[in-house]
Amino acid sequence: MKGRKIAIVGGVAGGASAAARLRRLDEHAHIIIFERGQYISYANCGLPYYVGGVIKDRNELLVQTPERMAKRFNIDVRINSEVEDIDLERKELIVLNRATGERYRESFDKLILAPGAEPIKPPIPGIEKANLFTVRDISRIYALKDYIDKEKPDSAVVVGGGFIGLEMAENLRLNGIKVWLVELLNQVMPPLDFDMAAYLHRHLREHSVELCLGDGVVSFDRDEKQTIVNLKSGKQLKTDMVVLAVGVRPETILAQKAGLEIGETGGIKVNQHLQTSHPDVYAIGDAIEVIDFVNGRPALIPLAGPANKQGRIAANHICGIEDTYKATQGTAIIKVFDMVAACTGNNEKVLKKYGIPYLKSYTHAGSHASYYPGATSMAIKLLFSPDNGKILGAQIVGHDGVDKRIDVLATAIRAGMTVYDLQELELAYAPPFSSAKDPVNIAGYVASNILQGLHPVIHWDDLDKLDRQYTVLLDVRTPAECKATGIIPGAINIPIDSLRERIDELPRDKTIVIYCQVGLRGYIATRMLMQRGFSRVYNLSGGYITYSMAKQGQ
């Protein structure tokens, strides 16, 4: 029985997922994957860890080979085959066989575009002089690793502090290579807000990564042995190699040549079924423009999870199953040495950009019960609506247990839950895994108290705006803690356990800003003063840890 012909351009995450789903739904379809490289379905997100030796065998990166894919799913896998153009009128592809140089036409009934995104390579003067590497596909990572193994470089400059830049910085350090990390913004990891990225800044420096934040590359030069990286600040970095990781852009050349509609963000425009402006052509993965789940605006959010889901949805729709891709919320996580950072939903920068009202809270909680050995602290930043407490975004930085908490919060956002709902979540508890009040519950309690007016807060970046003549800054930690960690300039110290007896030392005609180490004792002191007639009392959200970390990170 002869079936319809479905062509797929791109055989990695979304493309391979679509092909496998199509075969499970339609045994008779003629499915062709065109992949311009020689590998399909490889672990793109694992590439930096091969450089660091965490993944030792390069074959472990190959999730599926062309041979296995062809045999198991009866798919026509054509590697080294670059689709150069699409003839929509005749429904044909113009394909270049990169191994032989031959060009030929291939017809299709349905087409799925999954070309991914390409690394941005800005036209920096002298870039051709640099010993430069990019991280996109498996062949480029093999070349980078082979260079390290053969040449034994002493130093590297990583340009870009996003996911790939951070992972490459870590894995280069695991090779014993000195690393400079250059980032044009004032922070690494742009999906985080600055105050949460500050934890990573300290951690990177503790692992001997030299940060050049708020700085950019203006040109490259070369001497007899090394690449010279000239920065905007005037600083010069002499290095053996440069890894360019300044971001990616959707690969839309093929779609543009075919006359398919491109969205306002520069990605291929698709509908909820992932159809392009031509109903027989679908597009998925990093090349498409999606809708942001929280703010409802078009966005580019290149992540592996959504790409795989989109491959399945496109296949479903082609096979007559009514399925839609609704939106992307940007849930992501990264390991930086032994620290973990994760986010979901919108950050402050995005909420401000679109004028979306929000409140925020900072909490610090243990990964599991403090009395059980090995507990570590995690910082949680929660962003929520001032009207109804609907969760708009969350960011977590810590060590153990970050992954499961961000997944709970990502699920809560997807379900439209509020901070009040977080209080009610019944999450698994035993001392090795959590506390009776999980960190997610704690975040919900704190945010709910803020909304209900029980817990007036002020934030670290508001302190400099206060008129200190009319403000008292009250540190309620112990004198030993103050001595060990320092205090906020101008603060007075009255320990929480002495506050009732010494309450008359506080003026009632001034604003009282209270803080402790993480915010809990500050909250208790705030409630105490509010109920004893003090009318202008605020707790510093996240306490001294959040304040000091953000200040140090500047």
In residues, how long is the chain?
554
Using the predicted structure, report yes or no on whether residue 419 has a pLDDT greater than 60. Answer: yes
Are 215 and 186 spatial neighbours (Cβ–Cβ below 8 Å)?
no
Query: Helix H segments across 258-303?
Result: none
Q: What does residue 303 show for φ and ψ, rounded to 5 degrees? A: -140, 150
Supply the DSSP string of 32-81, one letter for each residue.
Answer: EEEESSS--SB-GGGHHHHHTTSS--GGGGBS--HHHHHHHH--EEEETE
* Residue 3 binned pLDDT confidence (cut-offs 50, 70, 90): confident
Nearest one of 175, 94, 98, 84 to 139, comparing CA atoms: 98
What CA–CA distance (Å, rounded) separates 176 from 140?
21
424 class by beta-carbon count within 10 Å (0-12 exposed, 13-18 middle, 19+ buried):
exposed
Active site residue 482: no
**Helix and strand counts by DSSP (H, E) for the chain:** 15, 30
* Residue 554 binned pLDDT confidence (cut-offs 50, 70, 90): low
What CA–CA distance (Å, rounded) separates 85 from 128?
29
Strand partners, 291: 298
374 class by beta-carbon count within 10 Å (0-12 exposed, 13-18 middle, 19+ buried):
exposed
Tokens 């065998």, located at residue: 57
What CA–CA distance (Å, rounded) separates 222 from 230?
11
Mean model confidence pLDDT for the chain: 94
Check the CA dihedral 68-73-78-84 and report its sign. negative
Please give the pLDDT value at position 51.
86
Using the predicted structure, report yes or no on whether residue 159 has a pLDDT greater than 90. Answer: yes
Give, in degrees to the nearest 5, the angle at Cα 224 between 218 and 225: 80
Q: What is the pTM of this model?
A: 0.94
Tokens of 432: 């090795």
Q: Which is more confident, 254 or 142?
A: 254
State the catalytic residue, choosing from 45, 212, 319, 482. 45
Average pLDDT over residues 49-61: 83
Nearest one of 199, 165, 213 to 51, comparing CA atoms: 165
Check the CA dihedral 405-410-411-413 and report its sign. positive
Using the predicted structure, report yes or no on whether residue 343 has a pLDDT greater than 70. Answer: yes
* Residue 66 binned pLDDT confidence (cut-offs 50, 70, 90): confident
Report the greatest alpha carbon distance in the chain: 90
Using the predicted structure, report yes or no on whether residue 137 has a pLDDT greater than 90. Answer: no
Please give the pLDDT value at position 515.
97
Tokens of 269: 């425009």
What CA–CA distance (Å, rounded) separates 343 from 398?
12
Strand, helix or coil at 279? coil
For the stretch 385-401, pLDDT in tens is: 999 999 999 999 999 99
Nearest one of 441, 463, 439 to 515, comparing CA atoms: 463
Cα first-last separation, the chain: 66
Give, in degrees to the nearest 5, the angle at Cα 97 between 95 and 102: 90
Report residue 463 CA to chain centroid gap: 29
Strand, helix or coil at 251? coil
Number of neighbouring beta carbons within 10 Å of residue 419:
25
State the DSSP H helix or E strand holding residue 157, giving kind and residue range, or none if neither: strand 155-159
For the stretch 398-411, pLDDT in tens is: 999 999 999 999 99
Using the predicted structure, report yes or no on whether residue 1 has a pLDDT greater than 60. Answer: no
Supply the DSSP string of 101-140, one letter for each residue.
Answer: --EEEEE-SEEEE---EEE-----TTGGGS-EEE-SSHHH
Please give the pLDDT value at position 553.
66
